[in-house]
Structure 1
Amino acid sequence: MTDAVEANLDGLVGPTHNYAGLSPGNLASQSNFGAVSNPRAAALQGLAKMKRLADMGLPQFVLPPQPRPDLGFLRRLGFTGSDAEVNAAAWKAAPILAGSAWSASSMWAANAATVTPSADSGDGRLHFTPANLLTNLHRSLEHSHTTAALKRIFSDPRRFTVHDALPPQPHLADEGAANHVRLCAEHGAPGVSLFVYGRGAYEAWTGRFPARQTCEAFEAVARRHGAHRPVHLRQNPRAIQAGAFHNDVVCVGALDCLFYHQAAFEDPAAMQAEVRAAAAGLFEPQFVEIGEAELPLADAISSYLFNSMLVQAPGEARLTLVAPIDVAEHPRARAVAEGLVASNGPIRRVEYVDVRESMRNGGGPACLRLRVVMTPEDLAAANPAHRLDDRLHGRLVEWIGRHYRDRLVPANLADHEMIKEARIALEQLDTILS
């Protein structure tokens, strides 16, 4: 299966994209609370990134926005009446609950699921476990829709298994692929899965910000998928407290390269030893560690250098770092990126993308995509309506221009017109993707 490729499944930003500050530990989300958002620009920026990756020759799929507002959630909490009455009452009595019902956070597809490709699974199929995302209320509403969407795209049971999310209990808190890295010699070859957790299910956590991923959740995912070479690693608590709410804020990997900040793992030396042991006989890992002196942890988090994508373009042996434009505008982060290229190591070049609207809510290029290693047979079996090409790109650009606002503040979400706008937009999108 050496001809397998790493496809990207990106979350399309929804029409209710706003800055409601619902995510403790996510410094960008908190600092931009209440700011004016631009859903149209957000969706076009994310779509432009998808198109850029597709133009590089990488398979690109589209994960649609989830239906928002989730008025069923508000009704289950006791709000009654018409849709307009439910929405208005929730905003008046419980604005955090109302904001959760309106959140467009499913755009960050790195949290959609954890993926094990056929080369690493126990039964030779491609496995998905949607993340329960129970640490944050607004994100815990996503997994049932995520499961349905994944089953729509990956429907062939001979090639794909889409599991249900883990039981929604604190002991099994699961944040998906934002805390998972797969290393390998080539995408179709057997690899090593790095499952990075923030806490153990039975330990006391007293940090200022939550440690969202438990070790026990990832152990369960690895068992479900029959993952052949799982390595369970602890994220550095200092990184979590500094604002690295997921490991992909301070670490990214692809093929045999792991690119990470010195503060990413609790014990970097032990991490390297465990990864080398798991990879023995398969490949020799390349560790690219950036020290505090080169880039302080606070700068790594504010620039989102490590929330870049590492991709292998067809016909190229080395990797491309797809970084947010914020890195180019941050002198120290840019110096690190340029140094990687000059070093003649595993990273050949850096390309910058503008995803500022997502960045202001704490999601960079890597947050917007779920990586899925697929064989040619997998690609042929996946739903072609969700695969981005020039035609679909053009239709989505037109759809966004017709249905998305260019200015939105959380207060606008109390307007019943916004409910109708969001519904009509997603009904039209369903027609496009059918």
Structure 2
Amino acid sequence: MKAYEVNFDGLVGPTHNYAGLSVGNVASLKNADQASSPKQGALQGLAKMKALSDMGLKQAVLPPLERPDVYVLRQLGFTGSDEDVIKKASQEAPAVYAATCSASSMWTANACTVSPSADTRDNKVHFTAANLSNKFHRSIESPTTSRVLKAIFNNEQFFAHHQPLPLGDHFGDEGAANHTRFCGDYNQSGVEFFVYGKYAFDNSKPAPTKFPARQTMEASQAIARLHQLDPARTVFAQQHPDVIDAGVFHNDVISVGNQDCLFYHENAFLNTEQVLDDLQAAFSEQPLHFVKVPVNEVSVSDAVNSYLFNSQLVTLSPGHMAIIAPSECHENENVRRYLEQVIELDNPIKEVKIYDVKQSMRNGGGPACLRQRVVLNDDEIKAANQSVFINDELFSTLNAWVEKHYRDQLSEKDLADPQLLVESRAALDELTQILNLGSVYPFQL
């Protein structure tokens, strides 16, 4: 049966703002306190979704979360009406309040880890929502994310859902941002590749010293067990601690893979040659294409500033891949020069397509952050919620929805406006009807 890689992109939320919440993410910190445009961000994301759909790729959408999260604020001791809670929290604990307003769920590469049915022992598609325990503003996402995933993939014959891993540093899990899959055709058994930043239970092993390692080896192993993966077809590798300290907070900021191709920076991994040997040994059916970007052509700093590797690597036709890159890649001279060269080399990458996702980029997320890859066969697509798949009608409907509900500009002081919660809930209530999700948000339960 034929299978496809479906890109599930996150809709930029109504509270999209630049609060600089993500230590270790250079772009997030650099742009802190600037005014954002939620409307522009959402429209930019939708334009990218439609462009990929028009290329013949299967494209779907994941909704944003309810923000500000007044339920978490109540857990923290703020009382009264929703308006009271917002006023008290924004005045008494502004940093905490800003965290509960984050629209970071737009980066759905962190929503979960997905293993296709071709890889799992029970032949179901497995989902584990990421606990995102390293950052408070993200650690509160998984309950609603889990409900959304179950609302979209709600047929137990085809889909298996797991609880997020236990919260805490030892099992920090950042989802698909540290996971990729290699395969021939998408319907064939693949090799699942997990990249971690540190060992949680062994302090003698290498680890970053400046910025946190958000993914642990133990978390990656737990996901592989939960998803019933074949150990012979599963590879674990450590991200180089030095690049984490240089601002590479996830592996998808320093490498990206698709089918039989790994596009990676020379300094991406610890013990790189061993990593490549392990991948090739697990993927025994044919030679993998390892496309190395040399540090003397593109520095780690260039990679971080341009988000070259946070591009999407997609298959447009057999043997023909395209890099879906942010416009910052053309603005960086070294990266632009390299991309002009790479399509001439002996590898499957034959095109580079540039898109403007600046509202996301300024907060530290490029094209690959905005999407979760879910490999589904024909039967699994039919079993999923059909209302989330992008077509001309849904694209038009969602653009009109954004224009109706989103603010043009949002500053830090605007987050304390209780009306923002009212506006956001009205937007999300309408969105659940558009996407046929049922009641997934706390205010609807």
Q: Contact (CA 8 Å) 1:184, 1:283: kept in 2 or not? A: no
SS of 2:322's partner is strand
Task: Kindly state the Cα deviation for residue 114 of structure 1 after the two structures are TM-superposed.
Answer: 0.6
Structure-1-length-normalised TM-score: 0.98
**One-letter identity of the residue aligned with 2:147:** A
In structure 2, what is the Cα distance between the partners aligned to 1:344 and 1:285? 12
SS of 1:134's partner is coil
In structure 1, what is the Cα distance between the partners aligned to 2:288 and 2:347? 12
Quick one: which of 242, 246, 251 aligns to 2:246?
A: 242
Aligned to 2:302: 299
* Aligned CA-pair RMSD: 1.0
SS of 2:313's partner is strand
Aligned to 1:308: 311
Task: Kindly state the Cα deviation for residue 296 of structure 1 after the two structures are TM-superposed.
Answer: 0.7
Q: CA 1:415 to 1:231, structure 2 compared with 1: closer, same or farther past 3 Å?
A: same
Aligned to 2:132: 133
Aligned to 1:422: 424
In structure 1, what is the Cα distance between the partners aligned to 2:318 and 2:228? 31
Quick one: which of 251, 261, 265 aligns to 1:261?
A: 265
SS of 2:352's partner is strand
In structure 2, what is the Cα distance between the partners aligned to 1:71 and 1:46? 27
Verify: 1:147 aligned to 2:146, yes or no.
Answer: yes
CA offsets 1:304-353 (integer angstroms, 9 cap, x no match): 0000000012x442111100011011111011111111114210100011
Gaps of 5+ in 2: 437-445
Aligned to 1:38: 37
Q: Contact (CA 8 Å) 2:208, 2:242: kept in 1 or not? A: no
Q: Contact (CA 8 Å) 2:35, 2:410: kept in 1 or not? A: yes
Q: Contact (CA 8 Å) 2:208, 2:245: kept in 1 or not? A: no
In structure 2, what is the Cα distance between the partners aligned to 1:183 and 1:44? 31
In structure 1, what is the Cα distance between the partners aligned to 2:253 and 2:375? 21
Aligned to 2:211: 209
In structure 2, what is the Cα distance between the partners aligned to 1:377 and 1:337? 37
Verify: 1:20 aligned to 2:19, yes or no.
Answer: yes
Extract structure 1 runs of 4+ deviating beyond 3 A: 203-206
**One-letter identity of the residue aligned with 1:62:** V
Aligned to 1:389: 391
In structure 2, what is the Cα distance between the partners aligned to 1:316 and 1:201? 41
Task: Kindly state the Cα deviation for residue 42 of structure 1 after the two structures are TM-superposed.
Answer: 0.2
Task: Kindly state the Cα deviation for residue 283 of structure 1 after the two structures are TM-superposed.
Answer: 2.3
Aligned to 1:224: 226
In structure 1, what is the Cα distance between the partners aligned to 2:10 and 2:147? 14
Q: Contact (CA 8 Å) 2:114, 2:128: kept in 1 or not? A: yes
Figure out how many residues of one structure are paired with residues of the other and give that number.
Answer: 431
Structure-2-length-normalised TM-score: 0.95
- The percent identity for this pair of structures is 48
Aligned to 2:360: 358
**One-letter identity of the residue aligned with 1:89:** K
Task: Kindly state the Cα deviation for residue 129 of structure 1 after the two structures are TM-superposed.
Answer: 0.6
SS of 1:342's partner is coil
In structure 2, what is the Cα distance between the partners aligned to 1:131 and 1:60? 21
In structure 2, what is the Cα distance between the partners aligned to 1:319 and 1:188? 18
Aligned to 1:173: 172
Aligned to 1:90: 89
Aligned to 1:56: 55
SS of 1:139's partner is helix
Q: Contact (CA 8 Å) 2:298, 2:334: kept in 1 or not? A: yes
Task: Kindly state the Cα deviation for residue 110 of structure 1 after the two structures are TM-superposed.
Answer: 0.2
**One-letter identity of the residue aligned with 1:407:** Q
Q: Contact (CA 8 Å) 2:208, 2:244: kept in 1 or not? A: no
